[in-house]
Chains A and B, each alone.
Chain A
Amino acid sequence: MSGTAGGGGVAIRARGVRKHFGRTEALRGVDVTAERGSVLALLGPNGAGKTTMVRILTTLLRPDAGQVEIAGFDAIREANEVRYRIGLAGQQAAVDEYLSGRANLEMVGRLYHLPTRAARQRADELLDRFGLAEAGQRLVRTYSGGMRRRLDLAASLVAAPPILFLDEPTTGLDPRSRVGMWEEIEALVDGGTTLLLTTQYLEEADRLADQIVVIDAGKAVATGTPDELKRSVGGERVDVRLRETRQLEAARQAIAEATGRTPDVDAESGHLTVPVDAGAAALTAVVRELDAADVGIEDIALRRPTLDEVFFKLTGHAAGDLSPDGEQIVRGARREEVS
């Protein structure tokens, strides 16, 4: 997590970005803004337009309409200036399988026009940092998926760019590599890098992002901090689990007394849930009433909605709402995958 420390100013600014491929409207007027040193997550399912947005922000694609400014430069008219200041790690590990890890990084360094020695030195530095020093001389072909991703991330950092774009950095990684990648990303952000990442994982956005833009079907459907998004769905609630299920009735009455609402009861597990408005105050009231009624509490918590719930509420479908072949079913209509 990072604050917006590192000075003010806007690193990424896009207004009204539109893009179509044939008849498919990939982006239908999207705005994003990232303060310098902050982390912005584009959250959305496959085919929502996240990758298209990243490709436009990183000068790979020209938008049909809209303005894009990266580090103060126009991404269309001053694309090369932008390219000196950004790093991009795409969905696939865009590394050359038939070169060693070191040769890959050296090549990228040369293409940033670093002097040969500096490119070599930088390659070694990055191999060290990403735990690839030993594998550095080996062909990338022999690397594991996690190693390739780390090399790809390293390649995007060769020029120490102040702004970094990561397109689904952890898709396809096993849980351990994913946590490793998160830690790397957090270290970068602590170092002052502005980061825009796309993800389908709500947990990832929740953990890494300062701001989240929820994208669905080419539109930004919500923007805010993780907390704001959760709050916008409303519905904080108090969850109570009883020590003994025979006290259910007493607990139900106590909770109704404390909150003025009838809780949902799961008789088998001894679980009660009640929506509340007053947050922590409501929690205290419930505890007090239960205590007064001499009800034994195993566990009690104030729960906020998860991003999953936020996503469902905003888009009408779940984030992982995918058919087995990777194509998404959106409101009954099959959409062409745009990437």
Chain B
Amino acid sequence: MGAAVARRESPRSPLTQLRWVVQDSWTVARRHLLHIRYMPEKLADVTIQPLIFVFMFAYIFGSAIVVPGGHYRDFLMPGIFTQSMAFASMSIMVGIVNDMSKGVMDRFRSLPMSRAAVLIGHTGANLIESVLGLIVMTGSGLVVGWRADLGLWPTLAGFGVLLLFGFAMTWIGAFVGLFLRSVEAAQGFGMVVMFPLTFVANTFVPTQGMPAWLRVIANWNPTSAVVAACRQLFGNSISTPQASTVWPLAHPVIAALIWCGVLIAVFLPLAVWRFRWAMSR
């Protein structure tokens, strides 16, 4: 055997253990980022698909949508940003289902690596993908004429809210992925849950025109709060008289933060619980 291989021992000190959690997490995350190099289409969820939506809504549907007191493209972009954050959770869902079903998870489990690193690496890589997607979309938004008008800090705060939402959705994706048995099921889940979640909201059109029952759902949809927060922070708000009567849309930034906090508080522990269960099975 190669002299390169010296027998390693389990870490005794908490500090070494922590270092290995970080190092192992990075190794797992790096693997996903390498996937992007070999298979750029993996980023489709957060790049090509939002681009298609940008051009479809900006030029096709947008030509027939009139938003009072503003330009539709300004109205549209925060919606697209938010939608792509939601869709990014599909990638971690599929990734986890793949690892579970193809035996990669078993390989990890037979290694003396940190258990937590598997989950942290997956979610970390997912967040990095989301950032890459945001960069691509911001560029395309600028191309079609979208602008953030309120200066640097509110704009950064807007992206911060988006990433926080992306982080919350990642944990939902991880949790659901740990239950599903096939990639097809994950894709089906995306169709059934992601589309209503991102369409029954103020993402593409104001909610005022929706039937009353649908409007209630849309107004209280976390997606709506995040979209409205971005519109406010990017200065893309339009004057809609009724909007202010609904609490989450009247206080969108606080509502978005609360929603993200709640989603993380619920789904992060659930995902960790399910992950531990799956790892000890």
Contacts and interface: CB of A to CB of B under 8 A. Distances in A.
Interface residues of B, number: 33
A117 B2 CA distance: 13
Contacts of B102: 92, 94, 97
B27 interface: yes
B193 to A, nearest CB: 25
Interface stretch (A28-36, A80-88, A302-310, A319-327): A80-88
Interface in B109-129: 109-113
A99 B35 contact: yes
A84 B113 CA distance: 9
Interface string B93-109: 00000000011101111
Nearest to A58: B110
A312 interface: no
B112 A84 contact: yes
A125 B9 CA distance: 23
A268 to B, nearest CB: 51
Nearest to B112: A83
Interface string A141-165: 0000000000000010011100000
A98 to B, nearest CB: 5
Contact of B103 (A58, A85, A93, A125): A93
B98 to A, nearest CB: 9
A83 B111 contact: yes
A159 B1 CA distance: 9
B38 A111 contact: no
Contacts, number: 104
B3 to A, nearest CB: 9
A113 B6 CA distance: 10
Contacts of B42: 98
B45 interface: no
Interface string A79-117: 011011111101111111111100100011011111001
Given A94-B104, A98-B39, 7 more contacts: A61-B281, A83-B112, A84-B9, A110-B27, A111-B113, A114-B5, A159-B8
Closest A-B pairs by Cβ, 6 of them: A94-B103, A160-B1, A83-B112, A92-B103, A94-B107, A118-B4
Interface of A: 55, 58-62, 80-81, 83-88, 90-100, 103, 107-108, 110-114, 117-118, 121-122, 125, 139, 155, 158-160, 191
16 contacts: A60-B109, A61-B280, A87-B110, A95-B107, A99-B31, A100-B38, A103-B34, A110-B27, A111-B24, A111-B113, A112-B113, A113-B8, A113-B112, A125-B2, A158-B5, A160-B2
Interface of B: 1-2, 4-10, 20, 23-24, 27, 30-31, 34-35, 38-39, 42, 102-104, 106-113, 280-281
